[in-house]
Structure 1
């Protein structure tokens, strides 16, 4: 395997010859793209992928755009792609990719056009970031004579903006989420009246042809479009907020138990979206009073959506949608490909495992996969599972049909994604992403496209990369015949490796100092970060500067079944070593989550609300583990053996002392990594039960311990650092124990541990053993098992937290206990997973690094001034971390004595003092002695359950 995975060049699973120009077929050679000279204006894994694909296609002399925010400013943050692209004339620098305002974005577009023209580039590749869905940018590229590798400006306008996409969907019979998509039109009607639109256009000197408008809505849209072109505001965010507030009142009254979602039309990846809580979540004597309180939040939420996307400037399209938030939704999407005339689909992806609208784990959903899963469920007698899978197949087929219909309606001439939410047996169109998706490889690993000569079926070529397909469509468009999709791999899964802490909160600023090589079957797309120094073969440090998103890499694998793909992903995550300075990633989270599904049901149907309750359950495990003193517990177990050992007490002491670290080291690792504990508990359910002071093992504790060392990637390997593996003397004991039980099971003819225990309980030697050998065997068994009682602490923690109540049902739905959905409890458990920085009682520290903002938006009042009193839960400041805006609220009530940070957009570090405060109540901090005493008391409760 390569020391670093350059996705397309080095991975045999996906490598193929893309040099169409070298084909012996004249028809195939027609579709060569070697005359393309693209400028790559995106960053992250997609930039490196595009470079690799272009190289394979024989597209030479492409260039890349670097943002000084991300790749130049920070030490050790130089774009890793430059390790392979060493020609400085092909590297071009800009301050950032998009600019913060409409004026800056327009300037950046012109700058990109100039760079392209000045350096001979004839095409633009924008990937999945920044302005890849910006119709204005695409139109500017087209007008400049540049070939945009992606959907054309017509498609961008028809489908790229959420409001227009929903209008198109309604016109083509595609089911959509109930809601309001014309907030700007409603604001315009409220301000000028439907009869005042022509006067509005005249007063603002807007050139509008009302004769082509079919109704008032089209007139409003025409006036608004003209105002955007003119760069003026005829309505502002306050007008839109007021209009949507009235709509929200109506919607909240009709459905008082429902929450609603506000979405700025240009948003993506969860940005520019906010949740409006249900009317009945507020206190009030009447429904009307509750509705008023709920709707009062709408104007500020509208503003937050726009500010987060930086679309609140003069002349920006500020439309915000408000639609019913379907709480039990699954998020599925269909890969769509078209050339402007034909349109086809390539199966689906389930992206329901997400948090803050950011996808985490994505899995393939294809017809072939579902057919096989249905057959397997029926063969196993799992009737409810089979029926659910059949319903899923019908939904997939409908979504694919609607995706192709919608793609044709918007004249899709590249690749796009038809995104849907699935609620029970219904599905709703949410939006179309007029770009390639981060998770597109999940699809391309399952399907490839066969383009066949209409005149000769034996004459064809196959495309396995969606980036390659984008280039083919940009270069040859309508000349490309509609392809046939061919199955490739049975299933695939992708884990997004992000710079986040244990609670999945963004964690910028860390430095990667070491990253293990790819393991077998791993497809790692990491922007080239783990590409070693080409001269010394040494890993090069990389600073995760955090100027943009939190994604570090995409990890993918495949399998014959979903279980195969998850098992392979688990092995990839197990063997991955990622270390560095101030480095936090979601590697541990993914390892635990994948094992949760392996242990509970691989075909489970999680909804988009699953992850936060799951994290809360993991937090409960950590909270309980924090209260257990393992060394104290082992000491008490040891004392019990000595008290009951009589003349053999000294021998028992020697045995237990020799085994202490063998048993406590992996448990300490699980206690330190609660995500690992969650995964381990999931795959070992039923291995042990506690009842009335008795321990009942269904699995041999020694074999479980051996499996645990492997699970923790602590296998014995000569030359491996001792801190990362089982110690040699412990390895000798454990290996001898495993071998002892393997031989014993074979000789006794048993395989299940309860049967083995029952046999060993007999004083009389069984057939094949003499009395002395049987006595020695029983003594060896007692010695190997001594001290393993401590391992039951894991079952105790699981029982105490009711971890198993978060479970998969026979119909593949997931039961989420109510206590895991309580917002305050969720916040508390997030703090258990990631304790806030230790602070003095008179100060508030930064919870994370990022950009500090003391106000909602430029020109608005700051949240708190010196001398202000604040209540617990009041907003103190906003921190922007990896392009996400997070309001930080006061953890307690008090008064601001001094504000320690000045200005907007100031860089802050985690743990930095931000405010000097005078709390209303003095915080009492327990002494170390009191904490230790409390842990021993909690540990005694566990010991009572096993001794």
Structure 2
């Protein structure tokens, strides 16, 4: 076994690798950028080395700096985590040339699966079923459009390099193909440096089921399947293992196909073989097709660990250090059911835009696994993926595991940044999902109901008012209560003003317009109008949060502040810090509501900014190549005529 390893990654995966290494007595070296100098993974590691600026290209993608850090600290091996350099065969070769061990597959295996078109051809040779499509080298737009016509609409345009939904577009009509192709190629060029795409038949009721494999370079085993069908724009949201409705016959067929895929390339380490499944007639052994292979550990690996009891990172370290596979196929057992929900800093009402912010409050519930790379007080920066944590639950049955997931999400508290927590909770409560009726279109079909924000009731607003008055825990001004002069506070939060009358320690009356709520602190919990609220009040700078059930956040408002917002949708503002990739309009140009105005690149994705209304462009306040901050005006329309 290694004595010391370096982790060429950041965030929750770096922390996760450190946990397993520590159990094995292996020392760890972290690397960090300027933006991560005080990050959790840096604090956890035995040593840490600074490798550059906040941009990934200046730090986590600098293979030479990472290798130099490993050599300087005496590390024997490099664990790549996932993302960044984890699937870069040139980096693997550089690591091995430096006399170090790469904890993962060979460069040749990564190359074999790195381009989706070549990988599909290889899988066909290995007897693995593949989706009908065009995987050729001809990238002429007319040729690709002709291929789409031959395959039959709807089709998927997919970047041949990379993953994560980037460079992928669904096209349902021939007339939309050209614009979708241009957009997919542009995003692929930005994300992967390779604009090439392939065209695939789009399965009408698709399920995304993947199989965890593990090899030692000669033979391989599978550790059952995961269902990753709950997706939004091809990004996984909630994963589970095993797949709902899976039959033993189909599990055996998919497992065997995945093992054939791994053994065909001499795979070593943890990997995932992803299949697209036609779920329109249940799960059938003749209705699944190879999509791609991820030659690394996956974000969702904890659900596999939960149902097998196997630490996949430990297996990675053991096999990379020269040990054989730790278990034969017939020794790997499936037990119970597990879910993982990805908690992100993102603005759901604004279209799931990645968000930033300082986590003024962060609390995870007991009884659930939370893999995280952040702590209270940490900042979600614009430079990296905005994941806050992965919430994982396990139970003897799917129903129990899902019930535990609901409880875990309700018990998770985050303040300081907008998050998708309420959205995840709505998904966990979705009746169709509870019945196991999952496919990749579920979220899109029910998006309105899943993203509909719950309005805070009187109880929640009253508790928020208590927090604003400094009475969150029943102390503060309440402790100074005088019988002859009940204390009265007037507080203003966004949306309402409240009068809070302190009647006794732990007892107050809150009036909001014509409604009244009596609040009492009973055995450490707040009761409102004679009923237990089950809520916690968390004051943070400039904000009051009320958690459980649900999460509500209220800005403290200065009633004398009369600042007004720009009216009429005349200004297009940058929704987050980012790079302006393109501007499509010029002064004097007439636009319609929904027309593309500009493209902003942020957090590894491209975001199209559209006109909020019809109008004429008055000013273009930015240009391609400009780095802009959140809230900066980019384009101004002329004022609407009365």
Q: Determine the structure 2 residue equivalent to 1:170.
A: 124
Tell whether the 8 Å contact from 1:500 to 1:507 is kept in structure 2 after alignment: yes
Deviation at 1:590, TM superposition (A): 1.3
Q: What is the TM-score with the length of structure 1 in the denominator?
A: 0.55
Cα gap change, 1:847 to 1:905, in 2 (>3 Å): closer
1:121 Cα offset (Å) = 1.9
Does residue 23 of structure 2 align to residue 56 of structure 1?
A: yes
> How big is the shift at 1:299?
4.9
Is residue 592 of structure 1 aligned with residue 474 of structure 2? no
SS in structure 2 of the partner of residue 90 of structure 1: strand
Deviation at 1:847, TM superposition (A): 5.8
Cα deviation, residue 574, structure 1? 1.6
Deviations 1:35-71 (A, max 9, x none): 34211111121100111111111112x2111123x41
Partner of 2:73: 119
Match of 1:44 among 11, 14, 18: 11
Question: Does the C-alpha gap of structure 1 residues 914 and 294 become closer, same or farther in structure 2, counting only changes over 3 Å?
Answer: closer
Larger RCO of the pair (alpha carbons < 8 Å, separation 6+): 1
Equivalence map 1:815-834=2 (5 Å): none
- The 1:493/1:618 distance shift into structure 2, 3 A limit, reads closer
Alignment of 1:81-100 (within 5 A): 81-85=41-45, 90-95=48-53, 98-99=56-57
Aligned-pair distance for 1:444? Answer: 0.9
Structure with more of its chain in helix, by fraction: 1
Which whole-Å CA distance do the structure 2 matches of 1:482 and 1:394 have between them? 20
Alignment correspondent of 1:247: 144
8 Å Cα contact 1:839-1:845 kept in structure 2: no
**Structure-1 separation of matches of 2:104 and 2:441:** 32
Q: How does 1:101-112 map to 2 (within 5 A)?
A: 108-112=62-66
Q: Residue in 1 aligned with 2:471?
A: none
- How much does 1:479 deviate? 7.7
Change in CA separation of 1:54 and 1:261 when aligned onto 2, cut-off 3 Å = same
Judging changes above 3 Å, is the alpha-carbon distance between structure 1 residues 717 and 611 closer, same or farther for their aligned structure 2 residues?
A: farther
Q: Matches of residues 525-604 of structure 1 in structure 2 within 5 Å?
A: 525-527=371-373, 529-530=374-375, 540-580=376-416, 583-597=417-431, 600=432, 602-604=434-436
Q: Alpha-carbon deviations, 1:283-338, whole Å to 9, x = none?
A: xxxxxxxxxx34433651343232331405xxxxx432111122310111000011
What are the Cα deviations for residues 701-735 of structure 1, in whole angstroms up to 9, with x where unaligned? xxxxxxxxxxxxx99864758xxx432x4238x99
Cα distance in 2 for partners of 1:553, 1:588 equals: 14
Change (3 A) 1:593 1:665: farther
Larger Rg: 1
1:268 partnered with 2:163: yes
User: Per the alignment, in what secondary structure is the counterpart of residue 332 of structure 2?
Assistant: strand
Q: Would the alpha carbon gap of residues 521 and 489 (structure 1) be closer, same or farther in structure 2, given more than 3 Å must change?
A: farther
CA contact (8 A) 2:169 2:180 kept: no
Show the counterpart of 2:498: none
Partner SS state of residue 445, structure 2: helix
Residue 270 of structure 1 contacts residue 356 of structure 1 at CA under 8 Å; is this kept in 2?
yes
SS at match of 1:873: coil
User: How high is the TM-score relative to the length of structure 2?
Assistant: 0.79
Q: Aligned residue for 1:447?
A: 308
Where does 1:642-721 land on structure 2 (aligned, <5 Å)?
718=522
Query: 1:446-495 CA deviation, whole Å, 9 max, x = no partner?
Result: 114xxxxxxxxxxxxxxx21011111111115586746543364111111
Distance 1:717 1:325, change over 3 A: farther
CA distance in 2, matches of 1:886, 1:485: 47
| Distance (Å, rounded) in 2 between the aligned partners of 1:413 and 1:663 | 53
Which residue of 2 is the match for residue 22 of structure 1?
Answer: none
Secondary structure in 2 matching 1:605: coil
For 1:17, the equivalent position in structure 2 comes to none
**1:97 positional shift:** 7.2
Mapped to 2, the partners of 1:601 and 1:872 lie a distance apart of: 35
Q: Aligned to 1:304, which of 157, 179, 186?
A: 186
Q: CA RMSD in A?
A: 3.1
Query: Partner of 1:915: helix, strand, or coil?
Result: strand
> In 2 relative to 1, CA 344–892 (structure 1 residues): closer, same or farther, beyond 3 Å?
same
| Corresponding residue for residue 611 of structure 1 | 443
8 Å Cα contact 1:36-1:123 kept in structure 2 = no
Return closer, same or farther for 1:167/1:663 CA change in 2, 3 Å cut-off. Answer: closer
2 CA distance for matches of 1:135 and 1:441? 25
Which residue number in structure 2 is paired with residue 358 of structure 1?
Answer: 235
Larger strand proportion of the pair:
2
* Cα drift, residue 551 of structure 1: 1.1
Kept in 1, the 8 Å contact 2:10–2:41? The answer is no
Q: Which residue of 1 aligns with 2:555?
A: none
Map of 1:344 onto structure 2: 221
| 1:773 match | none
Q: Does the 8 Å contact 2:216/2:319 carry over to 1? A: yes
Equivalent residues of 2:216, 2:324 under 8 A apart:
yes
- Matching residue of 2:278: 423
Instruction: Structure 1 unaligned segments of length 5 or more: list them.
Output: 1-32, 73-77, 187-239, 280-292, 313-317, 371-388, 449-463, 531-539, 631-660, 669-713, 736-836, 856-861, 925-947
Do the aligned partners of 1:900 and 1:914 also contact (CA within 8 Å) in 2? yes
- Cα 1:71–1:140, aligned 2, differ >3 Å: closer, same or farther? same
Instruction: Return the alpha-carbon distance in structure 1 between the equivalents of residues 96 and 43 of structure 2.
Output: 32
Aligned position for 1:914: 634
> Residue 434 of structure 2 aligns to a residue in which SS?
coil
2:36 is matched with: 71
For the Cα contact (< 8 Å) 2:132–2:151, is it kept in 1? no
Q: What is the DSSP-based 3-state SS (H/G/I as helix, E as strand, rest coil) of the residue aligned with 1:888?
A: strand
Q: CA 1:117–1:719 in structure 2 vs 1: closer, same or farther (change >3 Å)? A: same
Q: Deviations over 1:138-188 (max 9, x none)?
A: 1221222220001111211112321221111110111111111123xx2xx
Alignment correspondent of 1:767: none
Contact between 2:114 and 2:162, CA under 8 Å: does it hold in 1?
Answer: no
Instruction: Please point out which of 872, 876, 882 is paired with 2:593.
Output: 872
- Contact 2:382 2:578 (C-alpha < 8 Å) held by counterparts: no
1: CA distance between counterparts of 2:276 and 2:356?
A: 35
* Cα distance change of structure 1 residues 58 and 412 upon mapping to structure 2, 3 Å threshold: same
| Residue 263 of structure 2 is aligned to residue 408 of structure 1 | yes
Q: Rate the CA distance shift 1:895–1:362 in 2: closer, same or farther, 3 A.
A: same
SS at match of 2:186: helix
Q: Flag structure 2 segments of 5+ consecutive residues without an equivalent.
A: 466-517, 535-563
Distance 1:93 1:662, change over 3 A: closer
Q: CA deviation at 1:902?
A: 4.5
Alpha-carbon separation, structure 2, partners of 1:576 and 1:440: 21
Q: Partner of 2:253: helix, strand, or coil?
A: helix
- Please point out which of 559, 577, 596 is paired with 1:850: 577
Say if 1:180 and 1:903 are closer, same or farther in 2 by CA, change over 3 A.
closer
* Partner Cα distance (2:197, 2:272) in 1: 21
1:730 aligns with 2:564: no
Q: Retained in 2: the 8 A contact 1:417–1:433? A: yes
Inter-partner Cα distance in structure 1 for 2:446 and 2:154: 21
Cα separation, 2, equivalents of 1:263 and 1:664: 47
Taking the aligned partners of 1:602 and 1:303, their CA distance within structure 2 comes to 37
Q: Displacement of 1:351 after TM fit?
A: 0.5
> CA–CA distance in 2 between the matches of 1:247 and 1:473?
42
C-alpha separation between the residues in 2 aligned to 1:618 and 1:53? Answer: 36
Instruction: Determine the structure 2 residue equivalent to 1:688.
Output: none
Establish whether residue 471 from structure 1 lines up as the match of residue 303 from structure 2: no
Q: Give distance in 2, aligned partners of 1:54 and 1:507.
A: 31
State the match for 1:327 in structure 2: 204
Cα distance in 2 between the residues matched to 1:511 and 1:890: 30
Whether the 8 Å contact between 1:339 and 1:478 is mirrored in structure 2 is yes
